[in-house]
Amino acid sequence: MFSSLRRFAVSIPGVFLVALGAAAIAPRAQAQDVSQGTKITFKVPVRIPGRVLPAGTYIFTPADFGILPDSQLIEILNEDGTQFVAFIRTVPVMRETVTSSTLLSFAENPKGQEPVLTEWFYPGSTAGHRFLYSARRERRIASEPHIFIAASSDGARLVKDVSGD
């Protein structure tokens, strides 16, 4: 059923089991409004371009500098939106299916390191954001298995691919 997840589980030496991945990275996401703001809780540290986010709750939203949101620049804020955490450059990515859940894609990182957040799709949209990493890390990410997690205010679940099914 989840062939990509089985491949992921087989390639990971005990540290980051699928069961642990489901419980540990399982973000709880909640859409905020039409600005595509999403509150996401990570139960373990997660790598984003340029840094590692400690376990915790964050708001992901397209950056808004007063005129129009910059859909290619994602702003990450703390849980209540009062502190800036990071700006992350992204490129557009598409999926075929619209779902009611936030969809997050993670790449496996070398043993003992944080999972790498690679994509974020807002609920109800086929358009998403692929996070940009250094060329070296991009090559590593491309060769690593990915897991996909559909998350909502009701919880999170592993899914087989970027469609969210």
pLDDT value of residue 91? 92
pLDDT value of residue 163? 58
- What are the pLDDT digits (tens) for 38-70? 899 999 999 999 999 999 999 998 887 766 555
As beta bridge partners, residue 59 has 39, 77
Length of the chain: 165
Pick left, alpha or beta for residue 13 (phi over 0 → left; psi -120 to 50 → alpha; otherwise beta). beta
pLDDT value of residue 148? 82
pLDDT value of residue 24? 44
Residue type, 138: E
Nearest to 128 by CA among 74, 164, 92: 92
Cα gap 103→160, rounded to integer Å = 11
Cα gap 78→76, rounded to integer Å = 7
pLDDT value of residue 70? 55
Cα gap 72→120, rounded to integer Å = 12
Q: What is the DSSP string of 118-146?
A: EEEE-TT-SEEEEEP--HHHHHHHHHS-E
Mark the ranges of the chain whose per-residue pLDDT is less than 70: 1-36, 66-71, 161-165
Q: Is 99 helix (H, G, I), strand (E, B) or coil?
A: coil
